[in-house]
Amino acid sequence: MICLPEKYANTFLNALKTGKINPDEMIKMTSEQRRKYLARFLGEYAKFANAEFESKLLLKNQKRGLVAWAKRMAGLKEYERKDIINKIKKLDKALNPTEQEQFLADIAEKRLGVQISYEEAQKLVKLTQKVEALKKPELKEWQQSDAYWKARQELVKFARELKAEIPPAISKITAVRKRLADYVSVQRAIKVGFDLSAPLRQGRAYLGTREWNGAFRRMFKYAKDPLAMDELEIKMMRSKYAEQVLQVKRELGLTSLGETFTQREEDFASKLIDKIPVLRASERAFVGFLNDLRFHRFVNIIDRLEKSGIKITEDKEALKALAKTIGAASGRGTLGSAEGAARSLATVLFSPRWVASRIQLLLNPLVKTGEARKEAIRALARLAGTSAAILGMAKMAGADVEIDPRSSDFGKIKIGKVRIDITGGLAPYITLMVRLATMSSKSSTTGVITILNSNAYNATTAYDVALNFITNKTAPLPSIARDYLRGKSWEGEKLTMDKPKVLAKYLARELFEPLLVADALDTYRDSSGNVLLTAGAFTGSLFGAGVISYKGSVKQQVKELYRDGEDEDAKQLLEDAYTAEKISKYSYEKLKKQLESDKPNKEIDLPNDIIYFKSLPYEIQLKQL
């Protein structure tokens, strides 16, 4: 039971006393008219108030119902509350579908946890009766009837739509926290939406399997037609293993199965996304592909085991372990004791379940047992094998490939300044583990090996490596806060209030530019307008391959321009970088002097190159200083 906040309760009572709210007039109104009428006094709580009013209209003693409505809306004393609850319970016992249709509204409220109007209750009755009529025992094979499952799906969809957006009586702090979580979710969806990235990101470990191939073909239908999602759900419910699937739907990560949505994918965690058509289509493709892949993988393994004589359907723990393994391999990890804080974590980390899934994908072959362990080994081996094959073919085609796991370019195809990650986002986690295990790292730009925790001045530590990894996984808003506190963006832009244009451009890019668009623009710019490479990178990014365009430092770019004979461009780049405060005055003057003297690139000496300086022995560093 939800009571109005004190502010609205007082407004409501005053309006009743002065006659501004006239119950007799409200009886003659339609549901929509009553909502608008009450909104003048109760704002966003009008829908809730109207639902309460309509529920009392259904009582035989209408005046008594109106009095109860008024008392409930204004708040009750404890003894009054208990009395009302007892009366409601007595009413519930009398309600069943064989009585007057309008009473089903109250039943639906209890089952769905929402308030519904009389008109909505009537539709719910008709849909329920249609399902029940098709489920009669005398109708043979009703479980295999298309008509039954379509009617059932129509009922399930309508029940979901009835999930009311009634604002609960919550504190201001809780309300702010909820709005912040929704806003962060929307920002995440804008950044990663507008694509079809599930196949080569979440589904990468199953690339080439029959489950992946089938889900990929049907993904386009899911994006185009909402009814295709209904067909998938019907297929799930008609499966001979539907009972087992329903038992582990949360562990498996099925986001639309059964009577209600069990959860939403992290990339589309806010209901606000439903209001943006393109993002809604992207979500259907995303959810449809993953549901299709996870469901078929799960039931195919069960079917194979059952046919071989292994009764896994009778082992609930084995089913749950298998479901968790498939969920982790397909990008949805479990958070253990932090499950209840998943939404809060998502306001800080970009995708906490995704991060958990990559770690679990690496560790599950070691910690799982039985069929779950076999599936974990298969998934990891398949990802490693296909990645090695793709990298090998890229190498033969002339692209650069990094095989040292200490480098951030490990597992990526390098074409000029463009890096393409084909490991399903797993490579960075391997790199982190190897760096911490060997206490060394390799620069992706200079190739210099840096020893962690050395005694050199300002040496990189293992703590720095781990901290950088974590901070790079933050959500859009925390990332902006991080960069502002550091005083500069990842690209070197100075972020201060005295540079409003730079700051505004940075905020617009970080908040509203989809990664798909950013990747394409960066690739085109940094490949000097290579249309073919840009098209390839765009296609890869569209389907989930990680595309990074790495420009390098200003000094490195100057070197490259010199090497290519673009002297004037090198000078202009230097001036622009100094104006934007991307390099120090010392570096600017030294580089400018070298440019003016027209020295060749190979003679440019940059003694303040920190990466190179750190790699030198301590005695040499002292000598250089």
pLDDT of res. 502: 80
Whether residue 160 is contained in a domain is answered as: no
State residue 248's pLDDT score. Answer: 92
Average pLDDT (488-506) is: 79
Is the pLDDT at 224 greater than 50? The verdict is yes
**H/E stretch holding 485:** helix 476-486
Which band of pLDDT confidence, cut at 50, 70 and 90, is reported for residue 101?
A: very low
pLDDT surpassing 80 at residue 258? no
pLDDT value at residue 268: 46
pLDDT of residue 117: 60
- Between 201 and 186, where is the model more confident? 201
In a domain, residue 146? The reply is: no
Query: Closest by alpha carbon to 196, among 179, 216, 166?
Result: 216
Q: Domain ends where: 522, 552, 582?
A: 552
- The tokens describing 276, both together, are 């943006």
Paired tokens of 450: 């840096």
Same domain, 390 and 406: no
Tens digit of each residue's pLDDT (9 = 90 or more) over 442-463: 887 677 888 998 877 777 889 9
**What pLDDT, on a 0 to 100 scale, did the predictor assign at position 294?**
96
DSSP string of 22-62?
Answer: -HHHHHHS-HHHHHHHHHHHHGGGHHHHHHHHHHHHTSSSH
Q: Do residue 178 and residue 294 come from a single domain?
A: yes
Band (479; pLDDT cuts 50, 70, 90): confident
Average pLDDT of the residues in 245-252: 90
pLDDT of residue 5: 78
- Judgement on whether residues 379 and 243 belong to the same structural domain of the protein: yes
Tens of pLDDT along 395-425?
999 889 999 999 988 999 988 888 899 999 9
Q: Which pLDDT belongs to residue 417? A: 80
What's the confidence (pLDDT) of residue 565?
54
Nearest to 426 by CA among 604, 587, 545, 305: 545
Most confident among 261-275, 542-556, 585-599 (mean pLDDT)? 542-556
pLDDT of amino acid 273: 59
Domain count across the chain: 4
Give the SS3 label for residue 258. Answer: coil
- Domain presence at residue 241: yes
């770690």: which residue's tokens?
359
Res. 65: pLDDT tops 50: no
Residue 231 lies in a domain: yes
Give the residue with greater pLDDT, 465 vs 144.
465
Residues 103 and 276: their CA atoms lie apart, in Å, by 36
Q: Is pLDDT of 186 > 80?
A: no
Q: Name the residue among 578, 513, 80, 261 with its Cα closest to residue 591.
A: 578
pLDDT level of residue 257 (50, 70, 90 thresholds): very low
Same domain for 297 and 179? yes
Q: What is the pLDDT of residue 23?
A: 79
At 552-582, the pLDDT tens digits run 566 666 665 555 555 566 666 667 766 666 6
Question: What average pLDDT does range 594-608 have in this prediction?
Answer: 49
Q: Are residue 311 and residue 444 in the same domain, yes or no?
A: no
Average pLDDT for 181-194: 70
- Asked whether residue 528 falls in the same domain as residue 540, the answer is yes
Residue bearing the bigger pLDDT, 622 or 352: 352
Q: Is residue 492 one of the residues assigned to a domain?
A: no
Domain annotation covers residue 259? yes
- Note whether 584 and 620 are same-domain residues: yes
Asked if residue 585 has pLDDT above 60, the reply is yes
The model's pLDDT over 125-159, given as tens digits with 9 standing for 90+, comes to 677 777 777 765 554 555 556 777 777 777 777 76
In this structure, how many other beta carbons lie within 10 angstroms of the beta carbon of residue 289? 27
Residues 366 and 425 occupy one common structural domain: no
Q: Quick check: 262 pLDDT over 50?
A: no
| Structural domain boundaries enclosing 122 | 6-136
Taking the alpha carbons at both ends of the chain, their separation in whole angstroms is: 73
User: Of 398, 433, 459, at which residue does a domain stop?
Assistant: 398
How high is the pLDDT of residue 325?
96
> Is 159 among the domain residues?
no
Mean pLDDT of the chain: 75
In this predicted structure, what is the pLDDT of residue 431? 93
* Alpha-carbon dihedral sign for residues 109, 114, 116, 120: negative
Residue 443: predicted pLDDT: 81
How confident is the model at residue 150, as a pLDDT? 77
Spatial neighbors of 361 by CB under 8 A, at least 6 apart, are 205, 328, 329, 376, 379, 380, 383, 426
Q: Are residues 194 and 252 in the same domain?
A: yes
pLDDT at 196 over 80: yes
Quick check: 547 and 540 in contact, CB under 8 A? Answer: yes
Q: Tell me which of 552, 576, 599 is where a domain ends.
A: 552
234 shares its domain with 343:
yes
Q: What is the pLDDT of residues 70-93, one digit of tens each?
A: 444 444 445 544 454 444 444 433
Residues 161-179, mean pLDDT to the nearest whole number? 55
389 domain-assigned: yes
Q: Is 75 helix (H, G, I), strand (E, B) or coil?
A: coil
How high is the pLDDT of residue 38? 87
Is pLDDT at 184 greater than 70 in this prediction?
no
pTM for this model (two decimals)? 0.68
Chain centroid offset of residue 134 CA: 38
Q: Based on the domain organization, do 423 and 388 belong to the same domain?
A: no
Q: Are residues 249 and 388 in the same domain?
A: yes
527 pLDDT more than 60: yes
